[in-house]
A and B are shown apart, each in its own frame.
Chain A
Amino acid sequence: MKFVYLLKKELKELLTLTTILTLVVSVVALIALGGVMGNVMEETTENADKITLCNKDSGSYSKAVIEALVTAGYEVNEIEISSDDYVEELNSKDISDVVIIPETFSSQIEDVLAGKTVEKDGEKVIAPVDVEYVTRMNSLSITGNADVGSTVALSAIEGAVKSVVYASKNMSVEEIKLIESPVNLVETTVVNNKQAKESSTLLSAYVMMTSMFVPIVVYILIIYSSQMIMNAVATEKIDKTLETLLSAPVSRLSVLSAKMIAATIVSAVYAVGFMVGYSYMMDGMTGSIAGAVDSSVISELGLKMSVGGYILLGAQMFLSLLITLAISLILGALAKDAKSSQSLLMPIMFMAMVPYMLSMFVDFKTLGALKWVMYAIPYTHTFMAQSNIILGDMTTYFGGLVYQIVMLAIFMTLAVRLFMSDKIFTISLDFGQKKNKYAAKKNKKA
C-alpha cells in the first residue's frame, strides 16, 4: 500500500501537463511526418511504372521491346529527342528523365541473336545492347534524386530485351546465362544546366553522402546552442544572479549582448570542431564512392561546393544560430525551474527536427501547399541551403535568406524588449499551475 502512495507521487511528479503536451505534440508531429513521407513514397512508387522513352531505332526489335514494356505493365510515354543537348531537351519537354533507344538498337539485337560475344572480366559474354538513360538531379534528398529512376529503367528494358530475345530464338540454358545482362545502360546525368556521362546512381550516392553532413551539423548546432543559452538564462533567473547583475552599474543591453556573443562564439567553435571531425568521418565513409566517381565529372556538373558556396551556406548557418539564440533567450526567460527549462526546449527541437528529417528524404519543392508550412520554419532554409546552392536555385536560397533575416529581426526585437522590460523577472510559463480563484480575488483586494 505504501508503495502505491510512492508510485502515485512519482507519477504525478513526472506526468505534468507540460510532459503530456510534449508527448502529444511529438506524436502528432511524427504522424504528420509519416503522412508526408508516405505521400512522397507513394508518388515515387506510382512514377516507377511510368517510362518516358525516345525511340531512335527504325527496326522491328525496338518496337517489340516497347510492346514488351507495355505488356509488363509500364506506361510508356514516347517522345522525340532530336539533339544531344539534353539540358535543353529535358527543360523544353518538362521531364526529369528519358530512356533513349539508339538507332543501332535492332542491329545490336541481331548481333546478340547471332551469338556475337565480347570479352568482359576475362569471360566471353554476349555483346550488350546500348541503351541511353538521361536524368536530371532535382534535389539532394533521397526521393528527389535519380537513383530510383535509373534502376527502374534498366530492369524494365532488360526484361523487355530478354523477352524479345527469348521469343526470337529457342535458346539453351547456357545461352540464356550468357545474356543475363543484355543491356549496357549508357547514362547521362543533367544537373542544373550542365550534363555529363556518368551513372546517376553513383552520383546520387556521392551527393547524398556529402549532403548528409551539413544538416547533421546544423541540427546539432541548433540543439546545442539553444540548450546552452536557455540554461544560461534560466539558471540566472532561478538563482537570482540575474537580479544582482541587472541592478549593478551595467546596462541591460551589455548583459544581453555578452550572453549572445559568448554563446555565438562557443557555438561557432563547437560547429567548427564538429565539422572538422565529421568531415574526417565522411571522408572514410565516402572514400570508396568518391573513388568510383570521376572527380572531373563532379566539378563539371557543379556538384562540388565552391568557396563562394561555402560562404553562402555559412551565412545561413550563422543566421540559424542567431535565430536559435534569440528564441532560446525568450524561452529561457519563461522557465520557472530547471525542469520546465528542459520542456521549453521542445519547440526548438521540433522546429529543427521536422525539416531535418524531411530534408533527407523529400524535395521540399514537391510538397505542394505543405512546402509553405515548411518554409515558415526558419531552419528549413538552412537545411535546403546546400541543395539550393549546388543545384543553382538561388531564388529559393536568397528568398530563404531574406526570410531568415526578417525572422531574426523579429525574434531579436522580442528578446531585447523582454530583457529590457519587467517581464524578464515576472514572466513564467507554467502549464501545470491551476488558477486559484480565491487567491486571485484576495490579491485584487490588496
Chain B
Amino acid sequence: MANVLEVRELSKQYKKGVYASEKVSFSIGEGEIFALIGPNGAGKTTTIRMIATLLKATEGDAVVAGHSIITDPAGVRESITYLPDEAGAYKTMTGKQYLEFMAGIFAPDKEQAKIYIQRATDICGLGDRLGDKIGSYSRGMIRKLLLSRAVMSHPKLAILDEPTSGLDIINALEIRRMIKDLAREYKMSFLLSSHNMLEIEFVSDRVGIIAKGHLLEVGRPDELKEKHGVKNLEEVFERVVKDNEICISPEERA
C-alpha cells in the first residue's frame, strides 16, 4: 500500500545540543493506524507537532500525501487534521456552531461543509446537547466533539494525541471502533499517540516506541511481543525503554 506519511530523519533542536526529537524515521501506509508510544517527554508531541506543521523541523523532512512539511506546509495542512492532547474548544460557541466553524475552515465549499457537519453530528453522538454552549460540556463531551471534528473531513491523515483521554470505558471503546472503521472503510490513515497500551494494542496496526527523542523500535504489536518474549505491549514498552536507559553511558548519566 502507498505511504500517506513518510518521516525521514526528522529532528528538532530547541537549544544547541538539546534534541527533543532526533533523526526519527517511520512511515504510515494508506488506511494504516500507527501509534507512537513513549514515556513523558520522549518527543512524541514534538514529532507530531512537526508533522502537523506547527513546529519547524531542525533537520529532516516528513512528506504527507506528497506534500513536504518543509517546502509545502500549506499542502500538508490540506491533507491532515490534528487533535492535540487535552485540547479545549471555544466555550462561548455551541457544539453546532463549533462544528459549523471548523467545517467552514476545512471544507472547500458550503455543500461539502454541510456533509462534514452531518458526519460530525452522527459521530459525536451528542444529540440535542449540540445546541448547548461548549462551556457547559463535560470533558468527555468536549473530547467527543473534537474527535468528530478531527475525522469529519475524512482527511488522508488524522493525527490524534491521546484520542480517548477523558472518556469513560464505553465511550473510549466506541472511539477505538470508530477509528478502525474509518481506516477500513475510508482508507483514512491515523497517527496516534497514547499512554494506554491496551488501547494501542487493540487499535494499532503498527507501533513505534520513542524515548528521549529517539525512535527505538517499530513493528506490529504481535511482532514486538514475540521479539521480546513478553505477553503484552506494556512489557514490550518497559523492556525497550529500560534497555535504552542502560545503553546510556555513565558519563551521559552524570
Contacts and interface: CB of A to CB of B under 8 A. Distances in A.
A425 B55 contact: yes
A327 B78 CA distance: 31
Interface stretch (B84-92, B122-130, B195-203): B84-92
Interface residues of B, number: 38
Contacts of B19: 446
Contact of A422 (B56, B102, B253): B56
A4 interface: no
A244 B253 contact: no
Contact of B102 (A239, A248, A251, A446): A248
Contacts of A249: 74, 77-78, 105-106
B159 to A, nearest CB: 8
A348 to B, nearest CB: 24
A241 interface: yes
Interface string A245-263: 1111111000000000000
B87 A444 contact: no
B1 interface: no
**Which of under 10, 10 to 19, 20 to 34, or 35 or more describes the interface residues of A?**
20 to 34
B84 A240 contact: yes
Nearest to B79: A249
A443 B56 CA distance: 20
Contacts of A366: none
A444 B52 CA distance: 25
A9 interface: no
B90 A241 contact: yes
Nearest to A255: B105
Nearest to A238: B88
Given A443-B18, A446-B19, A250 B88 contact: no
A243 B102 CA distance: 13
B229 interface: no
Contacts of A238: 88
A426 interface: yes
B48 to A, nearest CB: 10
Nearest to B20: A446
A435 interface: no
B212 interface: yes
A120 interface: no
Contact of B77 (A239, A248, A441): A248
B54 interface: yes
Contacts of B68: none
A444 B18 contact: yes
Interface in A183-216: none
Interface of B: 14, 17-20, 41, 43, 49, 52-56, 74, 77-78, 80-90, 102, 105-106, 146, 159, 212-213, 248, 252-254
